[in-house]
Amino acid sequence: MSTADGERIAPVTWLFGEKPQQSEPERLSPSAVSPTIVGPTFREKEPTTTERGRFDAINNVSMHALARRGMSSREMRDYLVGREFEVDAVDAEIERLQGVALLDDGELAETLVRTLRDRKGLGRAALTAELRRRHLEGDAIEGALGALDDDELERAVEIAIKRAPQLRSLDQTTAKRRLGAFLMRKGYSGSVVSKAVARALEPSGPVFR
């Protein structure tokens, strides 16, 4: 090694372990590094304007229908399909309504049983027929009827006693036949009807006292 004047100097020899550490290279800032594409990120797809419009349309129809009366899942599905919505959209709307408890077949069945029993005095057979007419599933029907009190006979007797005064002008045979037919139409079983008619029309009963 030589200097600028041409003078030669001995090369520097470092003792073992004493070599000075080199300074770390300057780290580049993130902005100075070229971006690298590592693959797509997966995000939930934003609904398009058309999809949002379709959702709003079917949602408006279903909510207006529920505002008028309670509906079973099957009734709602038939209603929406009848309004010419696509089947996939209908299935999605049914699932959404069930998810937020606006469609609940079990609760609807229980409500119908209470209402029809208290207002119309219907018996088990008539209640079952009405729940089936509303397209409720078997499990929902069984659950609602299973919650009934075991007082079908007492309820039939109560209805028969209220009805019996209208039959006072008839002979006993005709009165029994008409009262029995009335209770049968209410959906009470034959054994319950026979007992209720006998108690309502017995000579010492409340109707003929």
At residue 142, the pLDDT reads 92
pLDDT of 31 reads 46
| Predicted local distance difference test score (pLDDT) of residue 146 | 87
CATH number among 2.60.40, 1.10.287, 1.10.10, 3.40.50, domain 104-148: 1.10.10
Is 104-148 in the same CATH topology as 50-103?
A: yes
Q: What Å distances lie between residue 27 and 15, 21, 31, 70, 121, CA to CA?
A: 30, 17, 11, 68, 86
Q: What is residue 158's predicted lDDT score, i.e. its pLDDT?
A: 94
CATH topology (fold) of 50-103: Arc Repressor Mutant, subunit A (1.10.10)
Whole-prediction pTM value? 0.68
* The pLDDT value given to residue 11: 56
Please state, in angstroms and rounded to a whole number, the distance separating the CA atoms of residues 161 and 191. Answer: 17
124 burial (CB, 10 Å; 0-12 / 13-18 / 19+) is middle
Q: Which residues of 5-33 are buried (b: 16+ CB within 10 A; e: fewer)?
A: eeeeeeeeeeeeeeeeeeeeeeeeeeeee
Q: What is the pLDDT of residue 185?
A: 96
What is the rounded distance in angstroms from the CA atom of residue 197 to the CA atom of residue 202? 8
What is the predicted pLDDT for the residue at 54?
80
Q: Where are the domains of the chain?
A: 50-103, 104-148, 151-209
Work out the number of other CB atoms within 10 angstroms of the CB of residue 169.
7
Q: Are the C-beta atoms of residues 111 and 119 closer than 8 Å to each other?
A: no
Distance CA 117, CA 123 (A): 7
Looking at residue 202, its pLDDT comes to 84
Both tokens assigned to 92 = 């999605």
CA distances 113 to 70, 131, 160, 190, Å, are 13, 8, 20, 20
Per-residue pLDDT of the chain (209 residues; tens, 9 = 90+): 555 555 555 555 544 455 555 555 455 444 444 444 444 444 445 556 666 778 889 999 999 999 999 999 999 999 999 999 999 999 999 999 999 999 999 999 999 999 999 999 999 999 999 999 999 999 999 999 987 767 889 999 999 999 999 998 999 999 999 999 999 999 999 999 999 999 999 865 555 44
